[in-house]
Structure 1
Amino acid sequence: MMSDENAASGETPEVETPVENAVDPVEALRAENSELKDRLLRTIAEMENLRKRTERDVNDTRSYAIAGFARDMLSATDALSRALMVLPAEARENGDATTKSLIEGIEMTEREMQRLLAKHGVKPIEAEGQKFDPHKHQAMFEVPDPSKPEGTVVQVVQAGFAIGDRVLRPAMVGVAKGGPSHAPADEAVDKSA
C-alpha cells in the first residue's frame, strides 16, 4: 500500500532490498578486536622503550651530573700540584716547623681532593707509553725518538681525567716521532695519497 503522501506526489514507495554486501557483525568485531590488540601491543612496547630510555637518562644524570664540578675541581687540584712542584727540596727539608706544616697541609689537601674525585668516578687517563688516542689525548708536541714506535705517548705535560666513559679533560702529551710504526707490516697505510 502506498501512503497518502506518496500517492499524491506520484512517487513509488521504496522497497527495502536485502544488502548483498552486509558486514558480518562477528567479523567486524574480530577485526576491531585485532586492531585494538595491535594498538595495545604497540602502546605497551612504546611504554617499555620509554621506561628503558628514562632509566638510562636517570643513570647518565647520576653518573655525569658532577662533570662540570669535577672539571673545576681538577683545576684546583692542578694548582695544588703546581704549588708543590715549585717548592724547592731544601724548603721541605730545612724549613721551619710552620713551613713544613704548610707543605704537609697542601700535600694532604691534594691527596684528599684526588681521593674524593676517584670516589665519585673521576679517574686519571693512562697516557704515558700508550698509543696516541685523539679521543683521550691532546698532542702538544712531537719528540724525535727512533727508539719508540711512532705515535706513542712519551711525555705527559698535564694528566687527563675521565668520568665513566666520558673524557673530562684530555691528557696533554708529547708524542714520539720517527720510530717504527705501530701498524704491522701487512696493515701498512699508503701515505703517498
Structure 2
Amino acid sequence: MTDTPEPAETPTEPGFDELEALRQQINDAEARAAAAQDAQLRAVADLENTRRRLERDAANSLKYAAEKLLGELLAVADSLELGLKAAEGADGSVKAMGEGMELTYRQLMSVLEKNGVKQLDPTGQPFNPDFHQAMSMAPSADVPANHVLAVMQKGYSLHERLLRPAMVVVARAPE
C-alpha cells in the first residue's frame, strides 16, 4: 500500500459545483446586505434633511409671521410723518399738537424696530432696483448719475426681506 495523497477536487467532481453555488449565494447575500445598508443610510440622510428644512421653515414662519400687519402699519407711519411736517412752524419748531404726534410717531417706529422693521433712506446711495422704485429722474450736478437724489417715500425691510421699496428720484447727468 502506498501512501498517496488524495487528489484535490476538480471541476468535474460533484462537490465542486455545490461549493461554487454556496460561494455565489454568499456573494449575493453580501451584495444585498450592502445595498440595504446603503438604502438605510440614504433614508437617514433624507430624514435629517427633511428635519432641517422643517426647522428652517418653522423659524422663517415665526420670523415673518407679522409681515402683513407690519406692512400695513407703514401707512400709519407715513401719515404721522406727513402730519409732523405739516405741524412744523416756519422756524422748524413743532406746534403743541405736533408734539403729541411726534411722540406717537416715535413710539410706532420703536414698535416697528423691536419687530425687526428697518427704515431704508437711500439718499445719496447708488440706485438699486431691488430696494428702490424710481419715480422720476432729474438732472443734478451735486449727486452722481444713477444715485438717489431725493426720497419721496421711505422704504422698509423686515429682517433681510423687503417690505416696501423706497420711492426715489434718481439723478442723471446735467445736459
TM-score (norm 2): 0.80
**Residue 125 in structure 1 maps to residue 138 in structure 2:** no
5+ long unaligned stretches in structure 2: 1-16
Q: Which structure 1 residue ranges, 4+ long, deviate > 6 Å from structure 2?
A: 18-21, 92-95
Change beyond 3 A, Cα 1:84–1:147: closer
SS of the equivalent of 1:89 reads coil
1:149 to 144, 148, 164: 144
Change beyond 3 A, Cα 1:34–1:94: closer
Summarize the alignment of residues 139-178 of structure 1 with structure 2, pairs less than 5 Å apart: 139-178=134-173
| Cα pair 2:88 2:94 within 8 Å, conserved | no
Q: Give the equivalent residue in structure 1 for 2:79.
A: 79
Identity %: 33
Q: Give the equivalent residue in structure 2 for 1:190.
A: none
Change beyond 3 A, Cα 1:53–1:157: same
Change beyond 3 A, Cα 1:171–1:50: same
Q: Give the equivalent residue in structure 2 for 1:34.
A: 34
Change beyond 3 A, Cα 1:93–1:140: closer
Residues of 2 paired with 1:26 and 1:20: CA distance? Answer: 11
Q: Give the equivalent residue in structure 2 for 1:68.
A: 68
Residues of 2 paired with 1:111 and 1:122: CA distance? Answer: 14
Q: Give the equivalent residue in structure 2 for 1:137.
A: 132
Task: Compute the displacement of 1:20 (Å).
Answer: 9.7
Change beyond 3 A, Cα 1:169–1:93: closer
Residues of 2 paired with 1:88 and 1:64: CA distance? Answer: 36
SS of the equivalent of 1:124 reads strand
Task: Compute the displacement of 1:22 (Å).
Answer: 3.6
